[in-house]
Chain A
Amino acid sequence: MNAHHDLERRLADYYGEEAPRQAPDRVLHAALTSIETTRQRRVLIPALRRFHDMNASAKALVAAAAIVVGVLALAVFGPSRPGSNGPGVGAAGSPSPSPAASSAQPSSSPSASAARPSPSALALTESFTSAVFGVSTSYPAGWHVAPATKLWTTGIPWNCGQPDPCPFDQIWEKPDDSQLYHLASQPLGGKSGAEWGSAILADPGWEATCAKTTEPISIDGTPGTMAKICGQSLFVAVTSKGGRGYAFVLYRSDDVNAFKQLLATVRLHPEAAASEMPSARPS
């Protein structure tokens, strides 16, 4: 038996011996207690599931009927012709961006704004301006904001947790198991913007399991780099302006379009960045 297989055998034996046979009773009890007050997520279009379960001929029949209905609807309520006022009823399927979202699309950032809205396109109706990092962004309604509680001086803006001070602004969808959007900036510290960005992306703290994939991106008209961290549901984008390096993170998401959509709303204001944390004011 070679060393490779020997290690695998040792590992299997180890797991067999070390794995607990039984979970403490309180685990199941706590979970079942919790679900008593937890509502199930509803499937929005149950018809789709029924469609999935149909046999091929039934699916073909339903699809043909849908096409006929679609064609008829288009003929009757078709899109408005040039010169008519406002969108026709047929255009209602493509949601028009909110004022905040549309005004946030910078004409000067082609890469980011060129992202096609994915089926899960975010409605970026809220805006956030960092108190310390000299940056602002839009984000979806209902998401939560936790401003940084310390300046970003070392490491990467990915991990922190209560009660530790957090060196980046966080905007998240839900408390658990949801997308997290982080923003932070710091002085370049004598490096060029490219050197700084490369160093941030190469930081081992991202725990990439293989080579990253990167692409150039423009953030508020400033060239930068966006990377998908291999092995993690994690996107990082870096850029620099006015002697500051900026980093943006979208965690727990594989939706690059969502990240680009968020980045397209970013505005960099290095002159507004703080060199120390604002002192707490009594409320």
Chain B
Amino acid sequence: MQTELVDRARRGDREAFSVLAGGAVDRLYAIARLILRDAELAEDATQEALVRAWRDLPTLRDVERFDAWLYRLIVRAAADVGRHRRRWRAEITVLPAEPAEADRASALADRDQLERGLRRVSDDQRAILVLTYYLGLSTTDAAAALDIPIGTAKSRLHYAIEALRAAVEADDRASQGALREGRPA
């Protein structure tokens, strides 16, 4: 069914493309949102990816690869949107880790810690983390979506996880330090 729609859209059928876009928009938006961590930028990236998908669809040779191709487009669109955002990055103040209050659920603290850690990894690294741990793509498929060699995808994923772990551990240390200061012996 999708293959037929892709083929029709590739030949200029806007109605077929509308159906495809409607089926993909939520997934693409979620990917962009997780990579960019900003709702407004994610909207821009999703819209841009869909327009590029329409524009470049005739160049897609293998209609079976439509989904992987869409992932590539959304990652590129997110990177482009992110690139324009980078100039503000230096102005973003990363809030220091606050000691967890006793009545806060540990799950919430866990989530906040990952949130802070993810802010400290690059857009490229976040992209492969999202493709791998949100979409569940294999390294081979993630490499195809990112248009990079498999070896590069493996090392990028490795460095992304290590960068995230380092950020989380640094966050842990900051939290423990703050706790110690707040509770004099």
What is A's interface to B at a CB cutoff of 8 Å?
3-4, 7-8, 10-12, 14-24, 26-28, 30-32, 34-36, 38-43, 49, 52, 159-161, 164, 176-177, 207, 209-210, 230-232
- Shortest beta-carbon distance from B29 to chain A in Å: 3
**B61:A19 contact, CB within 8 angstroms:** no
- Please tell me if B56 contacts chain A, counting CB pairs below 8 Å: yes
Given contacts A23-B26, A207-B122, A231-B156, contact A31 B46 (CB under 8 A): yes
The answer to whether B68 has its CB under 8 Å from any CB of chain A is: no
List 19 A-B pairs, Cβ < 8 Å.
A8-B133, A12-B133, A14-B110, A14-B114, A17-B111, A19-B33, A21-B26, A23-B46, A27-B29, A30-B47, A35-B51, A38-B51, A40-B54, A42-B58, A209-B124, A210-B152, A210-B156, A210-B159, A231-B156
8 A Cβ contacts from B7-56 to A: 12, 14, 17-18, 21-22, 25-26, 28-30, 33-34, 39, 43, 46-48, 50-52, 54-56
B22 and A28 within 8 A (CB): yes
Contacts of A7 in B (CB 8 A): 161, 164-165, 168
B25 neighbours in A (Cβ, 8 Å): 23, 27-28, 31
In the A-B complex, list the 10 residue pairs whose CB atoms are closest, starting with the nearest. A23-B29, A31-B50, A15-B134, A19-B30, A35-B54, A12-B133, A31-B47, A28-B25, A11-B133, A161-B84
**Chain B residues within 8 Å of A3, by CB:** 165
* Residues of chain B having any CB pair with chain A under 8 Å: 12, 14, 17-18, 21-22, 25-26, 28-30, 33-34, 39, 43, 46-48, 50-52, 54-59, 61, 76-77, 80, 83-84, 86-87, 110-111, 114-115, 122, 124-125, 129-130, 133-134, 148, 152, 155-156, 159, 161, 164-165, 168
Contact indicator B48/A176 (Cβ below 8 Å): yes
| Residues of chain B lying within 8 A (CB to CB) of residue A21 | 26, 30
Q: Are B155 and A27 in contact (CB under 8 A)?
A: no
Pair B111/A14 contact, Cβ less than 8 Å: yes
Which residues of chain A come closer than 8 Å to B51, judged between CB atoms?
31, 34-35, 38
The answer on a CB contact under 8 Å between A207 and B57 is no
Q: How far is the CA of A26 from the CA of B130 in the complex (A)?
A: 24
| Chain B residue contacts of A11, Cβ below 8 A | 114, 129, 133, 164
Distance in angstroms between the alpha carbons of A164 and B12 in the assembled complex = 39
Q: Are B46 and A231 in contact (CB under 8 A)?
A: no
Which residue of chain A lies nearest to B86 when distances are taken between CB atoms in the complex? Answer: A159
Shortest C-beta distance, B51 to chain A (Å), equals: 5
Decide: A177 and B76 in contact? CB cutoff 8 A. yes
The minimal Cβ–Cβ distance linking B59 to chain A, given in whole angstroms, is 6
CB proximity of B117 to chain A, nearest CB, Å: 9
Contact among A28, A52, A209 with B61 in the assembled complex (CB-CB below 8 Å): A52
Contact B43 A23 (CB under 8 A): yes
* Inter-subunit contact A27/B14 (CB<8 Å): no
CB distance from A162 to the nearest CB of B (A): 9
In the complex where A15-B34, A15-B130, A32-B18 touch, is A209 in contact with B155 (Cβ < 8 A)? yes
In the complex, how many angstroms separate the beta carbon of A53 from the nearest chain B beta carbon? 9
A57 to B83 Cα, complex, angstroms: 48
User: A43 to chain B: which residues have CB within 8 Å?
Assistant: 58-59
- Residues on A with beta carbons closer than 8 Å to the beta carbon of B56: 40-41
Minimum CB distance partner of B84 in chain A: A161
Contacts of A19 in B (CB 8 A): 30, 33-34, 134
Closest Cβ–Cβ distance, residue B161 to chain A (whole Å): 7
Question: Is B124 a contact partner of A232 (Cβ separation < 8 A)?
Answer: yes
Given known contacts A20-B30, A161-B84, A209-B124, A39 and B55 CB-to-CB distance under 8 angstroms: yes
